Amino acid sequence: MIFTVAIVIGLVFVSGARLSMADSPRTSVFISDLHMGLGKDANGAWYSTEDFRWPKALEGFLDHISQVGNGAVDLVIVGDFLELWQPPPTVSCEGPNKDYGCNLQEITEIVRAVIEGHRRELQALAAFSRKGSNCVHVIPGNHDAALVIDGIWSLVAEALESDRGCVTRAKDGTWVSGDGRVVAEHGHQIGWDPNRYGEWPSVSKDFNGNTYLRRPWGEQFVQKIFNDAEAEYGLIDNLSPLSAGVKYRVKDRGVGATAWDVARFLSFNLLETSIRQKIAILGERDDEQTPPEWDIAAARLLGSALFAGALAADDELATALADSDANKDLRDALNRLVGDEKELSDEAVLALCDQLAARKADPLCPTVRRPTLGALVEKAVSSRRRVVAPYVEKRWEKLSAMRVFVYGHTHAFETEWDVPISSRVSVSVLNDGAFQRVIDNEKFRDTARKAGMTPSEALRNLGLETLPACYTFVTIVEAANGGHTRELKAWYAPESEVGQITDVCDPRCADVGHGCS
């Protein structure tokens, strides 16, 4: 899977640090989505499902931030540190029904296999935690939700040599700086995310004397599509958005999973896709123009056209949906999805309407009040924020000192944007992307075209090593007046070279995409 980093530098104090925190400022560094999996097999070859193959990049990064932070660094791993959704062949994780997977014995076996597959990286983190007053803080995500369970976490803590260094876990899924101003969560609990846990941070339940891990729908889908497909389509889960790889597989091999499963997955990832790169062609924003008010009930009547119109004209799925014969089951599933308020929220419908408008798709969603072009552009820019902003507002109600919210999960970095809480308070939001190699779908298509391949062929034939050796991060500096400054950067680190900090749109990193022209 995909991974990223955010650095927060400033007066961020964390209980448990070994030096006095009243006298010296600390540096906090946020990374997410490493997805360390099974590593290599007995023959020394990488498992097809292994995405974290970059130990030197991590080691160099840890050395760099420790040096720059004078050994007073809080490294916060913001979820999906470990990949626990892709078990070894000997572990089935078939629970009593589809909503429950591994039992405790099985998840223990998976965690031990992952630890063994990444001894080098874990030892690097352990060494980092012993330097000066450095600390490593782990936030459980959806792919490593089992870390919430004390017995499972103890295995990882032992591998990180927590008895010799400063290693902690944010058991409830939320990390808060000592001054309360910086809050970090993985992000899978935001909005209608199919990876969310209904009773988070509770991730297990007892059945007939055995304890099983709860399995959100997103995990069920990953295990149906990605786990089997990755042996043939090596980059299927390294494209951004994740739905891109699934679409190429659908075009190449058919739906595979049920049409309903594919419809749900594509709907979520389409809504996660940023279309800021498209905004320039639509014209400049005009703050005086009236924003659109979509007629939600009428928009739901568009059915699968709501999705087809939000896709690019040359998108494989858009072509398939327009075909009167192909993928009828998928169109029917999307029609059903759009009509079900429990499956596709009103906010999701509004976000899709925003994207149709930005693409000037036909048909547009019906409106209560007709918007102007500038208003359509503004709404398109903010469509994802329809979901994230209300979540941040709710978190602020419980954590009122919060002024910065950092999350990951989507594998796509975001430059800073603000959620206004009141006339005097706002919260800055940043997404750190992923500390992993990933490529934007449009850049991937360009790469395939230059190689004389279709996207599906490139998905099969290009290796992870061909992706940009870039891992994005955000620097947040707390000023003396209590404010913060933020800066988005990248760690450029081919395994054969010494890493260095650079701009996210450095030509060596530009294929990561997400807004780089």
Mean pLDDT calculated for residue range 86-106: 92
Of 347, 366, 383, the residue at which a domain comes to its end is 383
Average of per-residue pLDDT across 174-185: 93
Give Cβ neighbours of residue 264 (< 8 Å, ≥ 6 apart).
194, 217, 221, 337, 343
Q: Are residues 289 and 392 in the same domain?
A: no
Distance separating alpha carbons of residues 327 and 409, to the nearest angstrom = 30
Count of domains for the chain: 2
The pLDDT value recorded for residue 75 is 95
Do 26 and 67 lie in one domain? The reply is yes
Is 457 inside any structural domain?
A: no
Q: What is the mean pLDDT of residues 450-474?
A: 90
Which has more confidence, 269 or 20?
269
**pLDDT category of residue 323 using cuts at 50, 70 and 90:** low
Task: Indicate if the pLDDT at residue 274 is higher than 60.
Answer: no
pLDDT band at residue 421 under the 50/70/90 scheme: very high
Q: Cα-atom radius of gyration of the chain, to the nearest Å?
A: 22
Cβ atoms of 432 and 472 closer than 8 Å: yes
Q: Which of 63-67, 119-123, 233-237, 376-380 has the lowest mean pLDDT?
A: 376-380
Residues 49 and 191 in one domain: yes
Report yes or no: 415 and 479 within 8 Å, Cβ to Cβ: no
In this structure, is residue 449 part of a structural domain? no
Taking only the tens place, the pLDDT of each residue in 183-200 is: 999 999 988 787 889 999
Collapsing DSSP states into helix, strand and coil, what is residue 412?
Answer: coil
**pLDDT tier for residue 512 given thresholds of 50, 70 and 90:** low
SS3 of the chain: helix, strand, coil, percent, to 5: 35, 20, 45
Residue partners of 71: CB distance under 8 A and separation at least 6? 131, 132, 133, 134
Judgement on whether residues 61 and 209 belong to the same structural domain of the protein: yes
pLDDT at 17 exceeding the cut of 90: no
Q: What stretches of 230-258 show up as alpha helix (H) in DSSP? A: 243-253
- 3-state SS assignment for residue 19: coil
CA-angle at 480, arms to 15 and 183, nearest 5°: 45
Res 374: pLDDT: 46
pLDDT surpassing 50 at residue 399: yes
**Contact criterion met (CB below 8 Å) for 491 and 470:** yes
| Any domain includes 281 | yes
Same structural domain, 183 and 299: no
Q: Which residue carries 């979901």 as its tokens?
A: 387
Q: Give me the mean pLDDT over the 433-454 stretch.
A: 89
Residue 377 above 50 pLDDT?
Answer: no
Task: Looking at the structure, tell me whether residues 256 and 355 fall in a common domain.
Answer: yes
Q: In the prediction, which pLDDT does 329 show?
A: 81
Task: Kindly state the helix (H) or strand (E) to which residue 207 belongs, with its residue range.
Answer: strand 204-207
pLDDT, mean of residues 287-312: 76
CATH at residue 193: 3.60.21
Indicate whether 283 belongs to any domain. yes
Q: Are strands 3-10 and 500-502 parallel, antiparallel or unpaired?
A: unpaired
Residue 169 placed within a domain:
yes
Kindly report the pTM of this predicted structure. 0.81
For residue 508, the enclosing domain spans: 3-215+386-438+468-512
pLDDT band at 88 (very low <50, low <70, confident <90, very high): very high
The neighbour count for residue 75, using CB atoms within 10 Å, is: 26
424: left (phi over 0), alpha (psi -120 to 50) or beta: alpha
**Residue 475 falls within a domain, yes or no?**
yes
Establish if 80 belongs to a structural domain: yes
Amino acid, res. 513: G
Question: Which distant-in-sequence residues (6+ apart) come within 8 Å of 512 by Cβ?
Answer: 240, 433, 438, 439, 440, 443, 468, 470, 472, 490, 504
d(CA 499, CA 388): 33
Name every residue whose Cβ is closer than 8 Å to that of residue 189 and which is 6 or more positions away in sequence. Answer: 173, 196, 197, 200, 391
The answer to whether position 129 is within a domain reads yes
Encoding tokens for residue 112? 């031990």
